[in-house]
Amino acid sequence: MRTWLRCVECGRVVEGFAYRCPSCGGLLEVEYDRLEIRLERGESIWSFSGALPVRERVSLGEGWTPLVRGRSGAWLKYEGSNPTGSFKDRGMAVAVSHALDLRCGEAVCASTGNTAASMAAYCARAGLEARVIVPRGKVAPGKVAQLVAHGASVEEVDGYFDDALDAALAAARGGAYLMNSVNPYRLEGQKTLAYELVVQLGRAPDAVVVPVGNAGNISAIWKGFRELAGLGLVDGTPRMVGVQAAGAAPLVRAMETGRLDPVGEPETVASAIRIGRPVNWPKAVRAVRESGGTILAVSDWEIDRARLELARREGLFVETASAAALAGYRRALEEGILSAEEEAVLVLTGSGLKDPEVRLPGPRPATGRATASRRPPGSGPPGEAPCPPG
């Protein structure tokens, strides 16, 4: 198999490795002369090695996570059951393998916690030095414990994820291998979620609902579906529905304007997606447009409530950011963006054990909605009660 990188902005082909297009600075994407996707059940993401651009194969058994039919009617893809408890393991298995291919000895990332935890574990496994940069005081405690346990060196910066990413980019210029999702190799691992869904469902779903922070995952999953469609392995492709927290939702506007106005001080209870300047926004906008999907913003109240609903009605304890998928699904049904008859998959991105503080939301605050409701009064969704039954 031969692979190369192509700039998603200007189309330039880049041989060798880069994080950005040398001509225009655009994001890069991996392309293949021949993709081989075996649509059958496997033990790890490496069952799709015919569509992964590396020689080494570092693995902790990532991928092949459960797909559970929810009582809500939607399918729940539980990424919390990956080895380090989040979807990041899919990407990290490939990116760490690529670092070994390139003989890099040190890996670096900025993170709200999960990328760092995953990188620390895979670097431990592969014998690489792991250096993580996180926003001070803004990482959930379970993730901090993972960093310590796996022996990563941790730097804290004052500010937000976006500031940590600037520091990680500087470290990468110094020669460390960058594990953030601006790295197109990492996203190759994450596209395997699309392949898995097609094996597990026997077809592509109608919609995939994904919490969005730095916007890598929604872009990666869409690439997976595009590849399957290009090979004629699926009849249709799903609408990609991205969900941001209302206090950190620059992509909602970017969808309308086609450019990104960063949010300077992003605020949300969903610390994993507290990001004001998503690096992958051009890829995400393309994914949403091509797929006929949308980006929604949901309030913290809706996220907390969805988290409790997942725990109490579905039996799944997810981390706060992951609950944005259900909050977004409910909103999409309310607003007529999706219908209950459509087969939707909610990507539950991480385990609740990482983020053990459980907030019990009170009654919906008057300002609890991110945008004005379009539904008539009195026709609310089931269970407007503050908490789902305990």
C-alpha span between 220 and 223 (Å, rounded): 5
Identity (one letter) of the amino acid at 166? D
113 binds ligand F0G (CB under 6 A): yes
Cβ proximity to ligand F0G, 215 vs 326, nearer residue = 215
Cβ proximity to ligand F0G, 330 vs 341, nearer residue = 330
Question: Which secondary-structure segment (H or E) carries 348?
Answer: strand 344-348
181 binds ligand F0G (CB under 6 A): yes
Cβ proximity to ligand F0G, 44 vs 114, nearer residue = 114
Of these, 184, 350, 352, 361, which contacts ligand F0G (CB under 6 A)?
Answer: 350
At residue 143, φ and ψ (nearest 5 deg) are -75, -40
Cβ proximity to ligand F0G, 65 vs 322, nearer residue = 322
The number of residues in the chain equals 390
Cα–chain-centroid distance for residue 10? Answer: 25
Of these, 44, 47, 86, 146, which contacts ligand F0G (CB under 6 A)?
Answer: 86
Question: Which secondary-structure segment (H or E) carries 217?
Answer: helix 216-230
SS (H, E, C) 231-275: CCCCCCCCEEEEEEEHHHCHHHHHHHHCCCCCCCCCCCCCHHHCC
Of these, 37, 100, 152, 272, which contacts ligand F0G (CB under 6 A)?
Answer: 272
C-alpha span between 350 and 235 (Å, rounded): 30
Residue 257 beta carbon to ligand F0G: minimum distance, rounded to whole angstroms: 19
Residue 114 beta carbon to ligand F0G: minimum distance, rounded to whole angstroms: 3
C-alpha span between 360 and 301 (Å, rounded): 9
Cβ proximity to ligand F0G, 37 vs 272, nearer residue = 272
192 binds ligand F0G (CB under 6 A): no
157 binds ligand F0G (CB under 6 A): no
194 binds ligand F0G (CB under 6 A): no
Q: Is-contact 150 130, C-beta < 8 A? A: yes
C-alpha span between 197 and 90 (Å, rounded): 14
Q: Is-contact 321 249, C-beta < 8 A? A: no
271 binds ligand F0G (CB under 6 A): no
Of these, 215, 221, 310, 327, which contacts ligand F0G (CB under 6 A)?
Answer: 215
Choose one: 201-209, 214-222, 225-233, 377-385; the region binding ligand F0G (CB under 6 A). 214-222
Of these, 59, 214, 294, 299, which contacts ligand F0G (CB under 6 A)?
Answer: 214
Cβ proximity to ligand F0G, 72 vs 181, nearer residue = 181
Q: CB-based contacts of 257: which residues, under 8 Å, 6+ apart?
A: none
Question: Which secondary-structure segment (H or E) carries 98?
Answer: helix 88-101
Binding mask 43-82 for ligand F0G (x = CB under 6 A): ----------------------------------------
From the CB of residue 357, how many other CB atoms can be counted at a distance below 10 Å? Answer: 10
Residues at the site binding ligand F0G, with contacts judged by CB under 6 A: 86, 88, 111-115, 181, 211-217, 272-273, 319, 321-322, 349-350
